[in-house]
């Protein structure tokens, strides 16, 4: 089904493995990529061995020595070419994302658009890697700070955004003068190979060295090699909180740097003064988009008691209209979960809801029969719960929406929202300015993302993306997120013939 797209993207049996550019090599065990759309095998990909990993890192080290000396605007030119190539390949790569991961085709193309957008952002950034000038307390001295490349950036990405997260990191790291080594999810290896092929061809056309962008393939063991490697100053890891904690410990033990973008348990607060039409659209897309497998997916809907019954009825009615099926068919609203393990997690979560006393409003179901051969399609669930339920406090990567009632002022709703371990995305639906401003204040949402009158899901690349608490504290994409990919240096220049010391210290002899 996807053979034409693989060919256009330059993927063949010859390059299904480790890569330091246009050179592919792998001798490890095989992993098989199955499509959750129809359950069919797409391809087998060979994993990276430890010996091959060492070759990748050595090649990356050599490439970085020359790459860092290329002026930043010229590095930006390479990223510009990547963005232009992605524009040409958007429908093709979007289809591969949809077929291998299971998200809708529109979402797949939207993910490629994110890649294009971050390339555009990074190109402009390549002329804006600003430091500050600082007034010295000593006469005849000048101070400033500047930023230098870190070296190798290790990227560990998850299945749910198999191409965008790599681009958020790679585009910024490259203009900052770093080289990248990417360990993609073993559930979506072909998307990673496609991205590596595209960038590798651009590097080759520009006569740039192997190793500026490298791909390693495998399971958690390969990720551990990156995390424990002292030659890699920064690890950017996206995935579960459990995974992030393991990475953080390993990197901290060698005093490396981490950029962690981990789990979310995102809520929309719906006040008594909300626009309910907007609320319904934001909540439904947030809950069922990507089959609830976004880190920004809406997990909890915290609704004021005055409008609770009305919101509940509207949601249940809306869910009856949802079409579930092949994500490449634009008529469908929701595709499959990534695999059978995800389906089992969905079913287990529903049982936990019932065991804790929750009420299922839209019943769970694993869909079977024609069009559902992969057995990865499920019916999205709505459940009435209490915020303190253990299952509600956890992140479930599935289309399960928890409906929670609150009473009184908006501060009560904010307290419920913040009463979870995760702190990624949040939103409030209200036409009341006071409520909106309280939500955005220091006494409001404790999340890295706080929205007013839009949902929790979907973010523009111009803003920094990430969250607090067990979400990890990292920031990717826009704003000044580029600074994490560079080392900061403070410089003081004395242009006099004397040597005064700071703080007025005297040291004469």
What pLDDT, in 10s, does the model give residues 112-128?
A: 999 999 999 999 999 99
Would residue 507 count as lying in a domain?
A: no
pTM above 0.85, yes or no: yes
Are 276 and 407 contained in the same domain? Answer: yes
Q: E strands, 381-441, where?
A: 381-384, 400-406, 422-423, 425-429
380: CB partners within 8 A, 6+ apart: 287, 288, 291, 292, 319, 322, 324, 334, 362, 399, 400, 401
Are 178 and 236 contained in the same domain? Answer: yes
Which residues span the domain enclosing 110? 3-262+472-489
Last-in-domain residue among 424, 452, 480? 452
172: CB partners within 8 A, 6+ apart: 118, 122, 125, 476, 477, 481, 482, 485
Are 400 and 341 contained in the same domain? Answer: yes
Are 407 and 481 contained in the same domain? Answer: no
Spans of the chain below 50 pLDDT = none
Are 217 and 295 contained in the same domain? Answer: no
Residue 218: the pLDDT is 95
- Reported residue count of the chain is 509
Would residue 496 count as lying in a domain?
A: no
Are 304 and 186 contained in the same domain? Answer: no
Are 46 and 191 contained in the same domain? Answer: yes
Between the two ends of the chain, the Cα-to-Cα distance in Å is: 82
Residue 26: the pLDDT is 65
- Where in the sequence numbering do the catalytic residues fall? 261
Are 272 and 249 contained in the same domain? Answer: no
Tell me the per-residue pLDDT of 338-391, one tens digit each, with 9 for 90 and over: 999 999 999 999 999 999 999 999 999 999 999 999 999 999 999 999 999 999
Contact 272, 282 (CB under 8 A): no
Kindly report the CATH number assigned to the domain that includes residue 365. Answer: 3.40.309.10
Would residue 462 count as lying in a domain?
A: no
Would residue 464 count as lying in a domain?
A: no
Would residue 480 count as lying in a domain?
A: yes
Would residue 132 count as lying in a domain?
A: yes
Integer Cα distance of 201 and 193 in angstroms = 12
Would residue 501 count as lying in a domain?
A: no
Average pLDDT, the chain: 96
Domain count, the chain: 2
Are 249 and 305 contained in the same domain? Answer: no
Would residue 393 count as lying in a domain?
A: yes
Are 327 and 424 contained in the same domain? Answer: yes
Tell me the per-residue pLDDT of 399-434, one tens digit each, with 9 for 90 and over: 999 999 999 999 999 999 999 999 999 999 999 999
Residue 128: the pLDDT is 97
Kindly report the CATH number assigned to the domain that includes residue 76. Answer: 3.40.605.10
Are 182 and 316 contained in the same domain? Answer: no
Q: Which residue has the tokens 């393939």?
A: 217
Q: Which of 242, 235, 294, 295 shows the shortest CA–CA distance to 264? A: 295
Exposure letters 440-472 (e unless 16+ CB within 10 A, then b): eeeebbbbbbbbeeebbbbbebeebbbbbbbbb
Are 58 and 109 contained in the same domain? Answer: yes
């Amino acid at each position: 089904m996807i053979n034409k797209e693989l060919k256009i993207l330059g993927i063949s049996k010859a390059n299904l493995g480790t890569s330091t550019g246009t050179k592919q090599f792998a001798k490890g065990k095989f992993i098989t990529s199955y499509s959750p759309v129809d359950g069919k095998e797409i391809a087998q990909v060979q994993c990276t061995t430890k010996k091959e990993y060492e070759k990748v890192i050595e090649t990356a080290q050599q490439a970085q020595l020359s790459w860092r000396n290329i002026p930043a605007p010229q590095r930006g030119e390479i990223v510009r070419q990547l963005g232009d190539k992605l524009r040409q390949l958007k429908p093709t790569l979007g289809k591969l994302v949809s077929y291998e991961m299971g998200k809708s085709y529109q979402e797949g193309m939207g993910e490629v658009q994110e890649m294009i957008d971050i390339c555009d952002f990074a190109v402009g950034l390549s002329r804006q890697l600003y430091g500050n000038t600082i007034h010295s307390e000593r006469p005849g001295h000048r101070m400033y700070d500047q930023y230098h490349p870190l070296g190798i950036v290790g990227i560990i990405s998850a299945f749910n955004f198999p191409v965008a997260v790599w681009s958020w990191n790679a585009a910024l790291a490259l203009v900052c003068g770093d080289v990248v080594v990417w360990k993609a999810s073993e559930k979506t290896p072909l998307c990673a190979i496609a991205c590596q092929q595209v960038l590798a061809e651009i590097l080759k056309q520009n006569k740039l060295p192997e190793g500026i962008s490298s791909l390693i393939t495998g399971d958690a063991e390969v990720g551990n090699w990156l995390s424990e490697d002292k030659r890699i100053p920064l690890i950017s890891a996206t995935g579960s909180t459990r995974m992030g904690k393991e990475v953080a410990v390993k990197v901290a033990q060698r005093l490396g740097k981490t950029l962690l973008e981990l789990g979310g348990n995102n809520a929309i607060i719906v006040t008594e003064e909300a626009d309910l039409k907007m609320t319904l659209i934001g909540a439904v897309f947030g809950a069922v988009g990507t089959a609830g497998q976004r880190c920004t997916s809406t997990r909890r809907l915290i609704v004021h008691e005055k409008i609770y019954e009305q919101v509940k009825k509207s949601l249940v009615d809306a869910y009856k209209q949802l079409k579930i099926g092949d994500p490449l068919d634009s008529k469908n609203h929701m595709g499959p979960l990534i695999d059978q393990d995800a389906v089992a997690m969905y079913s287990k979560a529903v049982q936990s809801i019932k065991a804790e006393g929750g009420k299922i409003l839209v019943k769970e179901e694993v869909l079977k029969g024609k069009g559902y051969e992969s057995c990865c399609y499920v019916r999205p669930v709505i459940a009435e719960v209490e915020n303190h339920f253990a299952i509600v406090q956890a992140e479930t990567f599935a289309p399960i929406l928890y409906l929670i009632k609150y009473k009184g002022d908006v501060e009560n709703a904010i307290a419920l929202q913040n009463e979870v371990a995760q702190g990624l995305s949040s939103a409030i639906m209200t036409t009341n300015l006071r409520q909106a401003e309280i939500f955005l204040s220091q006494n409001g949402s404790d999340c890295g993302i706080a929205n007013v009158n839009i949902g929790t899901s979907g973010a523009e690349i111009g803003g920094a993306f990430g969250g607090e608490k067990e979400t990890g504290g990292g920031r990717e994409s826009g704003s000044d997120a580029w600074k994490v990919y560079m080392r900061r240096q403070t410089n003081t220049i004395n242009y006099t013939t004397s040597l005064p010391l700071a703080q007025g210290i005297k040291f004469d002899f």
